[in-house]
């Protein structure tokens, strides 16, 4: 050990002596109940502990609102060789997003440019610990999560691993127009094409479907119980279909608009490349109040083994099962009619993709 020099010793003694004298002169006095009643407050940083499934968790909660405008040239998490027959794409990383950005800039090319930040409320960092075979307590995983989040997420999404559940909704007439364009049909020839005729009969009926990470070409979300990792597509899962609340079509639409394992529904694409969506709005675009419009339960995690993470957005004490590697969680909250999705895209956007919102002054992407 390096010896402490005389000057350092004197300085340290002076510093410690000053602290002691300060505490020695301070007198603790009890506060009256009337004084305590007038004082309110909440810790900005709190700690929570939990034990579950052989894991011990420590969560650092930050009680704050954060506004972000950030650009990252390349975001790669879980960049390693992953095994798993038929469940892993050819991409090299669990999560790979080029030109990743949070937030946007309105009027980016003018002097009136305005930053519209990505809003985060109550972020937290959580550690998962587990005792290994040698009896040593070690870190098994770490995650960064948000109590609520709202705003634009942009990037060239090359692969995602985890849960990403959204809602696609739009008019059947939008689907009909797209189908006719893709198949070279007109109003006359449409009548002799079963899918086109079915969409014509649906008229302007609103149709919708849940979309999630799927295997390209089939729409499978799992194979032999194993989830699809490093997904390159999002879409209507195999066996699922577009739905409607129209009483006349409610029983018929699932029969003609289901993904039967070919990534098509009523002749339309049911699986879509993630690269088509350059910007996605997270949360409810119509609700500017973060308490009402912020998506819940979002987190990113890294783990060296399969780790269950507590779903802080769920009413019950459920856990999100994650595999070794990187994981992104954009899951819906609630079920059925009470389901709230972290993002909603129109049917037109699902079929045609979305453009990137400006994330830099005077530029579309990158800074």
Indicate the burial class of 30 (C-beta count within 10 angstroms; 0-12, 13-18, 19 or more).
exposed
CA distance linking residue 217 with residue 195, whole number of Å: 20
CA distance linking residue 242 with residue 257, whole number of Å: 6
Judge contact between 136 and 75, C-beta under 8 A: no
pLDDT given at position 196: 92
pLDDT given at position 169: 96
CA distance linking residue 310 with residue 318, whole number of Å: 6
Question: Of 119, 122, 208, 211, whose CA–CA distance to 160 is shortest?
Answer: 211
| Complete DSSP assignment for 69-113 | -EEEEEEEEEES----TTTB-S-SEEEEEEEEEESEEETTTSTT-
Per residue in 249-291, pLDDT (tens digit) is: 888 888 778 899 999 988 889 999 999 999 999 999 999 999 9
Judge contact between 85 and 222, C-beta under 8 A: no
CA distance linking residue 132 with residue 140, whole number of Å: 9
> Which range is least confidently modeled, 50-54, 78-82, 275-279, 313-317?
313-317
Tokens of 21: 């004298």
């Amino acid at each position: 050990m390096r010896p402490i020099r005389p000057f350092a010793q004197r300085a340290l003694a002076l510093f410690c002596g000053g602290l002691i004298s300060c505490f020695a002169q301070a007198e603790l006095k009890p506060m009256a109940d009337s004084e305590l009643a007038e004082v309110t407050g909440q810790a900005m940083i709190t700690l929570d502990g939990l034990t579950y499934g052989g894991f011990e968790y420590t969560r650092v909660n930050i009680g704050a609102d954060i506004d972000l405008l950030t650009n990252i040239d390349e975001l790669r998490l879980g960049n390693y060789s992953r095994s798993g027959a038929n469940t892993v794409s050819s991409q090299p990383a669990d999560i790979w997003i080029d030109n990743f950005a949070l937030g946007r800039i309105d009027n980016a090319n003018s002097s009136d440019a305005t930053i519209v930040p990505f809003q985060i409320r109550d972020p937290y960092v959580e550690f998962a610990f587990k005792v290994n075979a040698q009896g040593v307590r070690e870190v098994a995983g770490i995650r960064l999560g948000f109590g609520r989040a709202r705003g634009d997420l942009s990037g060239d999404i090359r692969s995602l691993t985890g849960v990403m559940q959204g809602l696609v909704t739009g008019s059947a007439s939008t689907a009909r127009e797209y189908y006719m364009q893709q198949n070279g049909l007109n109003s006359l020839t449409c009548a002799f094409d079963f899918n086109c005729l079915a969409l014509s009969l649906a008229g302007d009926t609103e149709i919708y479907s849940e979309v999630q990470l799927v295997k390209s070409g089939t729409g499978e979300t799992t194979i032999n119980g194993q989830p699809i990792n490093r997904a390159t597509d999002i879409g209507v899962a195999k066996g699922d279909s577009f739905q409607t609340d129209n009483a006349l079509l409610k029983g018929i639409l699932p029969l003609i608009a289901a993904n039967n394992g070919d990534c098509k529904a009523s002749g339309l694409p049911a699986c879509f490349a993630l690269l088509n969506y350059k910007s996605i709005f997270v949360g409810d675009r119509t609700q500017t109040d973060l308490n009402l419009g912020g998506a819940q339960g979002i987190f990113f995690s890294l783990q060296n083994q399969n780790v269950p993470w507590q779903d802080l957005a769920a009413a019950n004490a459920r856990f999100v099962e994650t595999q070794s590697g990187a994981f992104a969680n954009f899951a819906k909250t609630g079920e059925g009619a009470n389901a709230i999705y972290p993002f909603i895209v129109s049917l037109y956007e699902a079929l045609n993709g979305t453009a990137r919102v400006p994330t830099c002054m005077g530029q579309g992407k990158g800074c």
